[in-house]
Structure 1
Amino acid sequence: MPRVTIADIARAAEVSTATVSNALNGTGRLADTTRARVHATAAALGYGAAAPVPRVLGLAVTTYGPLPWNFADVPYFAQAIGAATAAAHARGYALTALPAAPAAALWRTIPVAGVLILDSPAGDPVVPVLRARGLPLAFDGRPSDPGPREAWVDNDHRAATRDVLDHLAAQGARRIALMAGPGDEHYTRECLAAHREWCADHGVAPRVIPFAPADTDGRTLDAVLRDPGRPDAIYGIYDPCGRRAHAAATRIGLRLPGDLLLVCASEDPAYATTEPPLSTVSLLPRLTCAAAVSLLIDLIEHPDLTPEPVIVPARLDIRASSSPLRLTEG
């Protein structure tokens, strides 16, 4: 590996090369915080040494950009972190998962050989910081503008969404709503696009119920489900959607699946034990993240490699909440 230069430090610390020189030499008139940041950046990058590539990978979840949130509580991300860690260990690497909305300085200085990014939205503020360091990147979820030395793994979200809508229509649903947003990551955009396309193909108006992250009890759904023209089926594309729609239906006296069919995308095994058991779509993060880590390490160890994207099919697990035909046949 080439030695770290003053220009590398300046780029990572977002200061001029003159500022770096003054900070490292103890000269010039600099704020103490600036001088400390330069020293920390230089140490993290291994300035003054041959700076071997650390056998450590970073993991970032940047779905909501600058908003802090505890993604580790979401079953999808919990499984993703576990799978990524196991895949990294299998290749002799450690993995560090950092909290959402980290300070930019952290990403400028953390000593990693490459970074796995989950659910990166358009205009992701973390990605340019990492690219400026020349780090290889792998994305779980297709990025909006993949660059060189970058790879991605994803599901076919349009196919998965159409499969769910086809399933609900086959069970008799005629007013199917998609519960989605406000995220601007590829996953949400693809699901919304597939819903619009499916509705156009079937000559019906799209119905979208905005997902309200703070509405943990699903109260915003009460008015939607009380309306005379209410949806007769909902596909919620995030883990909490099933619980919230189920709670709202129970509050206003709708029966699942008699009055409302319900499917949600989730890795939470508890959905199989609710009353009635809820149908779910699994995006199989254990497979996608393991594949993404493998691609990332390949990029680290073979800088000239240009890996092909990997598509992992999603899985629809049909349960009683979306299958009244099964109930009547039984």
Structure 2
Amino acid sequence: MSVTLADVAARARVSAATVSRVLSGNYPVAESTRARVLRAVEELEYVVNGPASALAAASSDLVGIVVHDLADPFFGILAGAVQTELSGAAGPGGEKLAVVCGTGGSPERELTYLTLLQRQRASAVVLTGSASQDAGDARALAAALARLTAAGTRVVLCGRPADTARDVPDTASLSTLAFDNRGGARQLTAHLIGLGHRRIGCVAGPSGRTTTAERLAGHRAALAAHGIEDAPRRIEHGAYDRASGYDAARELLRRDADLTAIVAANDTAALGVCAALRDQGRRIPQDVSVAGFDDLPFGTDASPALTTVRLPLQEAGARAGRLATGREQRPPGGVATLRAELMVRESTAVAYS
């Protein structure tokens, strides 16, 4: 027997109207209530608007692009490249309508958008950025992805780890484009070590995110390979923004005023690190070398130009768009890992003696 809206309401201990409000996203609902309803939807494997077969047979021209931050250039480049491919789609169905959904990094909002896109019978969903490491969040995401693919929606995970979809039933409708965050971070820290740096601070990303874990693991692997102490006092977590980079750098320097280099979670945070150093009268790179990650466009215009790790964001977004429209063959095993490239510029130099 098909699961009904009333079944979901009973499981979540709310009214059917509240379930409808959560799924429509058109009315304010308390976050705790929203989470309870979405959990009930996942547990009961409720499919909005009828059985999955009907959804598959009547998919729309809509493609959802789910990002963390609409203002972050990282996501802007990815989404723009996806949309360019969608606008050039030829053949049956022609162009697709791209709808960009910003989650603010919230796993709950991400699940809400996936449910809404399923309800709108999206022909494809491109899910970008890092994922939550919480086991409950991972299970909920896997269930949502399984429902989408079962409904005939193509799903592309862009910038997610290769094992994100490990709990999703094997399907030709799901592809993963993973970045080599760990390898890139290892290259970056090894570059600093090669310049003679031994006291290296790390402005890591937010705790509990897969990208943060991968980049931090690469940093630590480089330290271990060269016999350098992995000191917790030289690691500070924060958001992927300039203000967090600024605050984290000040805290790291308070703990260890003799740091000779700082690696940041991304280029935006690296700009905050540079600002904090300048405010303390420290020169870059003569006193402290600074490095970022992602190779966002403003990095070459920074003063000094920022040493960083280049991720192929444009290529990744374009491939995601072609996979979403069926114009590129799914990679072997459903997963492709895109290489990271070290970009050495003027913000890093030999460690002072």
TM-score (norm 2): 0.71
Distance 1:144 1:48 in 2: 27
Structure 2 residue ranges without an equivalent (≥5): 26-46, 90-94, 104-108
Q: Name the CA shift for 1:224/1:290 in 2 (closer, same or farther; >3 Å).
A: same
Pairwise CA distance, 1:314: 1.8
Equivalent position to 1:73, from 58, 71, 74: 71
Distance 2:258 2:343 in 1: 25
Does the 8 A contact of 2:311 with 2:340 survive in 1?
yes
The answer as to 2:126 corresponding to 1:106 is: no
Equivalent position to 2:180, from 156, 161, 175: 156
Q: Name the CA shift for 1:44/1:230 in 2 (closer, same or farther; >3 Å).
A: farther
Pairwise CA distance, 1:233: 1.1
Equivalent position to 2:127, from 107, 117, 121: 117
Partner of 2:30: none
Pairwise CA distance, 1:54: 1.7
Q: Name the CA shift for 1:110/1:185 in 2 (closer, same or farther; >3 Å).
A: farther
Distance 2:242 2:184 in 1: 26
Q: Name the CA shift for 1:220/1:200 in 2 (closer, same or farther; >3 Å).
A: closer
Aligned to 2:292, the other structure's residue is in SS state: strand
Equivalent positions of 1:272-311 (< 5 A) are 272-298=300-326, 307-311=333-337
Partner of 1:258: 286
Q: Name the CA shift for 1:153/1:257 in 2 (closer, same or farther; >3 Å).
A: same
Over residues 73-120 of structure 1, what are the superposed CA-to-partner deviations in whole Å (9 max), with x where a residue is unaligned? Answer: 111100000011112223343321112125725245232022111123
Does the 8 A contact of 2:290 with 2:347 survive in 1?
yes
Distance 1:115 1:81 in 2: 12
Aligned to 1:216, the other structure's residue is in SS state: helix
Equivalent positions of 1:22-33 (< 5 A) are 32-33=17-18
Pairwise CA distance, 1:251: 1.2
Q: Name the CA shift for 1:48/1:181 in 2 (closer, same or farther; >3 Å).
A: closer
Over residues 200-259 of structure 1, what are the superposed CA-to-partner deviations in whole Å (9 max), with x where a residue is unaligned? Answer: 221112232212468717134224224455421111122321111001101111110011
Does the 8 A contact of 1:108 with 1:130 survive in 2?
no
The answer as to 2:192 corresponding to 1:182 is: no
After TM superposition, the structure 1 stretch with the greater mean CA deviation from structure 2, 86-95 or 111-120, is 86-95
Distance 1:60 1:205 in 2: 39
Partner of 1:315: 341
The answer as to 2:266 corresponding to 1:241 is: no
Question: Residue 182 of structure 2 aligns to which amino acid in structure 1?
Answer: R
Corresponding residue pairs, total: 296
Does the 8 A contact of 2:78 with 2:314 survive in 1?
yes
Does the 8 A contact of 1:295 with 1:307 survive in 2?
no
Does the 8 A contact of 1:298 with 1:305 survive in 2?
no
Pairwise CA distance, 1:45: 8.0
Partner of 2:59: 53
Q: Name the CA shift for 1:211/1:271 in 2 (closer, same or farther; >3 Å).
A: same
Equivalent position to 1:128, from 137, 143, 147: 143
Distance 2:22 2:349 in 1: 58
After TM superposition, the structure 1 stretch with the greater mean CA deviation from structure 2, 166-175 or 203-212, is 203-212
Q: Name the CA shift for 1:167/1:245 in 2 (closer, same or farther; >3 Å).
A: same
Over residues 109-168 of structure 1, what are the superposed CA-to-partner deviations in whole Å (9 max), with x where a residue is unaligned? Answer: 232022111123332455523422424321112243333222101222222112111211
Structure 1 residue ranges without an equivalent (≥5): 1-5, 20-29, 63-70, 326-330
Does the 8 A contact of 1:291 with 1:310 survive in 2?
no
Partner of 2:32: none
- Determine which structure has more spread, i.e. the larger CA radius of gyration: 1
The answer as to 2:155 corresponding to 1:137 is: yes
TM-score (norm 1): 0.75
Over residues 45-66 of structure 1, what are the superposed CA-to-partner deviations in whole Å (9 max), with x where a residue is unaligned? Answer: 899899422232211135xxxx
